[in-house]
Structure 1
Amino acid sequence: MATESATGGSPARTMDLLWRTGGDVERRPGPRAGLDVDRIVAAAVDLADREGLPAVTMRRLAGELGVGAMTLYTHVPGKGELVDLMHDAVLGEVYPEPPAGEWRDRLTSVARANWDLYVRHPWAASVGAGRPILGPNLMRKYELELTAVDGLGLSEVEMELVLTLVGGFVRGTVGGLHEKAAAERDSGLTEDEWWAATEPHVDKVFDPERFPTAARVGPVAGPELGGYSPERSFEFGLARLLDGIAVLVER
């Protein structure tokens, strides 16, 4: 039986906090300072959105909230549990309405909802993929996503695998979006500026006879795509992914 979640927190303590069941650490004695779990989690999400998950430490978060670090521990056991709570909190943002339409429309809604979530909260794409904590928002999300592939003649295992396939595709593609943003931030150069600075050096070493296919495709695809485009890769890849799922559904 696992005693830690993928984030290093205690699943039992996290589940108590998520579902507001017995053993809530909020009941421990200590200064309250007007805090509750929801306020702490909201501040942690905001900090992670601005500076990334590594910036979320109990000491830093206490400073953001204007309290002592030990005050946070009267509400949340530690960072591991806090990250699990943060993850479930942001999952509550998806699907204000259940995915609707025919199955391709429903799966498209699922993919776009996850893409938008990870664009808003980049850190969330790396949390909960391996050993998710089954909080109320995660369970609601899972239920609605299952209904997107229900009634298609797929087995229960195939339904799960289709959702895993779509989720993995979204996580991988949105990772490229954040990597591109990080490269622009770190270098101080836009995509166009970077390629303009690189092109003279490439011209010196590129041999079209050695790389004939690249010589044919690159000059056409590069200007057409405007450099690496995670958004376009997402749209193209999602369409091809749905085409593949259609073969399974029709079979």
Structure 2
Amino acid sequence: MAKDATKDHTGGGGDPARSLALLWRKQTQAPVRNGRRDLSVDRIVAAAIEVADADGLGALSMRRVADKLNVGTMSLYTYVPGKAELIDLMLDTVYANTHRPAPELPADNRRCWRERLEQVARQNWDLYHRHPWMLRVGVSRPPLGPNVIAKYDHELGTVAGIGLTETEMDTVLTLVIGHAETSARRAVEASGEGESGVTEQQWWAAHNPVLTSVLDQSRYPLAAAVVTAVGRAAEDPKHVFEFGLARILDGVQALVDARDATG
């Protein structure tokens, strides 16, 4: 299968045995030097996240992380066997920031699943904005670390007991989180933080006058009207996220209601 052109790396791409041992901190620790540990897996991962947050995933390398920690590059390999495993560790670490308890809502999930699922979507939206480099990592096969599992278990709880099968629960989460990821990618590009370095407003300001002068409104009346409206809406990149999320949840609501009607 061809690699997704929007992704630089694939999550879960490291050696399974080594990655899982690292993720669950089951690997043998490196020896103590001079009476203390000069490095640890956690320190290396934290430094790698700082590099990726500041300069993007393309800037991440074992050498760059070693420089940040002021150690030799080979020292890192005592703890982390390679970049693929390091990215798995980075993902699992940042995922710990999303599985927070839901706000006070009724105990009956049938009465509040939509609010809880909205919270899941917004937590993931926020996570992608805190760590935009995540948008460059394919996670169809995520690293199976403790934080990934905890996040998944928490998110499944938002749709438990509402009439969905186990497979449907997983699919609903895939739709909602996938929408958050896609919308976040658009928003990051619109903010000028993406690869283009141009904000949505700057792009429209440059293109709209030319497009207006060449677009035959009598021939393409719908396109002309919509392009004008979209140009005005460019100042609100979160609109696509909120609109799409509402429509996805409407669809889930219709499925839940249909199950209730036949149950």
Instruction: Using structure 1 for the length normalisation, give the TM-score.
Output: 0.87
Match of 2:172 in 1: 162
Query: Larger deviation: 172-181 or 146-155?
Result: 172-181
1:30: Cα distance to partner? 7.9
Number of residues paired by the alignment?
242
Are 1:209 and 2:218 counterparts?
yes
1:219: Cα distance to partner? 3.1
Aligned 8 A contact 2:191 2:199 in 1: no
Are 1:241 and 2:248 counterparts?
yes
Amino acid at match of 2:226: V
1:10: Cα distance to partner? 1.0
- Cα distance in 1, alignment partners of residues 230 and 152 from structure 2: 38
Aligned 8 A contact 2:201 2:235 in 1: no
Superposed CA offset, 1:6-63 (max 9, x none): 4531121111112122xx1533688976211101000000100111112111111111
RMSD of the TM alignment (CA)?
A: 2.4
Match of 2:108 in 1: none
1:185: Cα distance to partner? 7.8
1:130: Cα distance to partner? 1.8
More helix by share: 1
Greater relative contact order (CA < 8 Å, ≥ 6 in sequence): 2
Aligned 8 A contact 1:115 1:171 in 2: yes
Work out which of the residue numbers 98, 102, 105 in structure 2 matches 1:94. Answer: 98
Secondary structure class of the residue paired with 1:153: coil
Are 1:151 and 2:154 counterparts?
no
Superposed CA offset, 1:50-78 (max 9, x none): 11112111111111110000110111111
Superposed CA offset, 1:136-181 (max 9, x none): 1001001000100001011111111111111111111111012223
Match of 2:3 in 1: none
> CA 1:100/1:158 → structure 2, altered by over 3 Å: closer, same or farther?
farther
- Cα distance in 2, alignment partners of residues 195 and 128 from structure 1: 30
Secondary structure class of the residue paired with 1:178: helix
1:218: Cα distance to partner? 3.2
- Cα distance in 2, alignment partners of residues 125 and 25 from structure 1: 32
> CA 1:193/1:183 → structure 2, altered by over 3 Å: closer, same or farther?
same
Match of 1:57 in 2: 61
> CA 1:47/1:147 → structure 2, altered by over 3 Å: closer, same or farther?
same
- Cα distance in 1, alignment partners of residues 247 and 116 from structure 2: 16
> CA 1:100/1:139 → structure 2, altered by over 3 Å: closer, same or farther?
farther
Which ranges of structure 2 fall in alignment gaps of 5 or more residues?
1-9, 106-111, 259-263
Are 1:34 and 2:38 counterparts?
yes
Match of 1:219 in 2: 228
Query: Larger deviation: 214-223 or 12-21?
Result: 214-223
Amino acid at match of 1:110: V
- Cα distance in 2, alignment partners of residues 186 and 67 from structure 1: 34
Amino acid at match of 2:18: R
Which ranges of structure 1 fall in alignment gaps of 5 or more residues?
none
- Cα distance in 1, alignment partners of residues 128 and 147 from structure 2: 16
> CA 1:119/1:239 → structure 2, altered by over 3 Å: closer, same or farther?
same
Query: Larger deviation: 98-107 or 169-178?
Result: 98-107
